[in-house]
């Protein structure tokens, strides 16, 4: 195997049992200032890939002992080399051979004799695609590692909060104080919040582990929807009380849905939390679980607030990232990403997220509809 050294990356491996073909392709790449290495047969190609790690392979099909299809199949079996793009070069270009090339894992097929400009155009295209894919893979890996690290870092303090709140509750049960029921209720909320945080962290870590080993969807469970809503009403009761907001829950359609509890909590809590945040002092918020309008069998979760009515123009882009509501009734900071996350989660489960003006007075009706089976 002979090597042509260049200081410019990326690097292309050229494989052909005819030396004149190697010289021809090598000269084309050299004039284009593309670094390359050469191999005269299939085994040399495999050895070169193992030591040189090329970014693209130009592979002849017809070679003695090990043809191009066999080389390609060999490379695609290994996780270390499966992502290297392969372009077949061949004098034969019957439909059957072209199909065999793509079936083996090639990204492109060029017929000999080839035109210099065509060869370079395809080389540049697949080098760019390969570089982009590597960058996306690296960013995805870095993001997954960051999420897992953050989840791990949250796990210990949430466990401490859970343990301390249990201790406080146990101690308070033996005390005498005129406000003891209210204090116990607040301590219970702390413990429930810690439980929810722990469940969230465990869910994130489990999904990160599953994503690292397979492309399977998140494991779902059958959730009693009303129980989740009751839990969220309790969780948000303190923030509602601080603004003297009443929340009425009406359940006319007991339902269950096959979904991750963590995802259902995240979707519903965003709507409920926003209603409290943006509604005026002393407002009344209505929460409803009812029959759906969009699905023959399903459920509809509604939150009707008393916040400034969102105009039709703003409603059109409300679920886009960084869209924000009217902050007149809140001092809390908002980054405008919550509803876009809800939109993504709802779409993942073939549902519908929407908003419309309240029928009477200021306010908005946010709703989530999900296909599900109701409990009779």
Question: Coil, helix or strand for 288?
Answer: strand
45 and 194 housed in the same domain? no
- What pTM does this model have? 0.49
209 and 226 housed in the same domain? no
User: For the chain (length 376 residues), average pLDDT per consecutive 10?
Assistant: 47 93 93 93 93 92 89 91 91 78 87 90 92 84 70 63 74 72 74 71 60 48 88 86 93 86 86 92 95 87 94 86 56 56 87 91 92 54
Q: What is the pLDDT of residue 101?
A: 82
161 and 295 housed in the same domain? no
Structure tokens belonging to residue 144: 């997954």
Q: For the chain, how are helix, strand and coil distributed in percent, rounded to 5?
A: 50, 20, 30
φ and ψ at 257, to 5 degrees?
-140, 140
Q: What is the pLDDT of residue 328?
A: 60
Dihedral class, residue 300 (left if φ above 0, else alpha if ψ from -120 to 50, else beta):
beta
Q: What is the pLDDT of residue 336?
A: 47
Number of compact structural domains in the chain: 3
Q: What is the pLDDT of residue 201?
A: 66
Of 65, 81, 114, the residue that ends a domain is 114
76 and 162 housed in the same domain? no
* Side-chain half-sphere CA neighbours of 259 within 13 A: 27
Domain boundaries, position 226: 219-376
Q: What is the pLDDT of residue 165?
A: 75
CA-to-CA dists, residue 121 to 22, 32, 128, angstroms = 18, 11, 11
162 and 309 housed in the same domain? no
pLDDT in tens, 65-98: 899 999 999 999 988 899 999 999 988 767 887 8
User: What is the spatial distance between Cα 181 and Cα 172, in angstroms, rounded to a whole number?
Assistant: 9
User: What is the spatial distance between Cα 187 and Cα 193, in angstroms, rounded to a whole number?
Assistant: 10
The closest alpha carbon to 372, from 289, 305, 308, 306, belongs to 289
The size of the chain, in residues, is: 376
Vertex 294 angle, CA 292 and 296, to 5°: 70
User: What is the spatial distance between Cα 209 and Cα 106, in angstroms, rounded to a whole number?
Assistant: 30
Question: Which residues are 288's β-sheet partners?
Answer: 250, 302
- Does any domain span residue 143? yes
236 and 182 housed in the same domain? no
């Amino acid at each position: 195997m002979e090597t042509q050294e260049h200081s410019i990356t990326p690097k292309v491996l050229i494989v052909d049992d005819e030396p004149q073909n190697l010289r021809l392709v090598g000269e084309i790449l050299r004039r284009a200032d593309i670094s390359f290495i050469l191999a005269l047969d299939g085994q040399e190609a495999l050895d070169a890939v193992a030591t040189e790690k090329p970014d693209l392979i130009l592979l002849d099909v017809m070679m003695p002992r090990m043809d191009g299809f066999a080389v390609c199949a060999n490379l695609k079996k290994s996780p270390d080399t499966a992502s290297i793009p392969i372009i077949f070069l061949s004098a034969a270009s019957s439909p059957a051979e072209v199909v065999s090339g793509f079936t083996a894992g090639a990204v492109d097929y060029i017929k000999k004799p080839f035109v210099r400009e065509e060869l370079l155009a395809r080389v540049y295209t697949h080098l760019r695609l390969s570089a982009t894919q590597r960058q996306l893979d690296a960013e995805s890996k870095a993001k997954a590692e960051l999420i897992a690290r953050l989840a791990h870092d949250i796990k210990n303090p949430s466990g401490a909060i859970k343990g301390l709140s249990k201790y406080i509750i146990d101690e308070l049960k033996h005390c005498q104080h005129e406000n003891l029921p209210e204090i116990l209720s607040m301590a219970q909320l702390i413990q429930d919040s810690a439980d929810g945080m722990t469940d969230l962290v465990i869910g994130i870590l489990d999904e990160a582990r599953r994503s690292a080993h397979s492309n399977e969807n998140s494991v779902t469970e059958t959730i009693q929807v009303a129980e989740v809503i009751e839990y969220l009403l309790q969780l948000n009761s303190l923030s509602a009380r601080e603004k003297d907001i009443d929340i009425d829950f009406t359940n006319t359609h007991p339902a269950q849905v096959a979904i991750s509890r963590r995802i259902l909590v995240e979707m519903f809590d965003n709507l409920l939390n926003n209603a409290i945040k943006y509604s005026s002092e002393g407002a009344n918020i209505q929460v409803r679980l009812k029959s759906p309008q969009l699905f023959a069998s399903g459920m509809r979760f509604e939150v009707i607030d008393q916040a400034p009515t969102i105009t039709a123009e703003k409603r059109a882009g409300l679920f886009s990232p960084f869209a924000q509501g009217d902050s007149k009734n809140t001092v809390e900071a908002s980054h405008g990403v919550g509803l876009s996350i809800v939109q993504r989660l709802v779409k993942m489960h073939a549902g519908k997220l929407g908003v419309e003006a309240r029928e009477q007075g200021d306010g908005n009706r946010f709703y989530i509809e999900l296909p599900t089976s109701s409990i009779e």
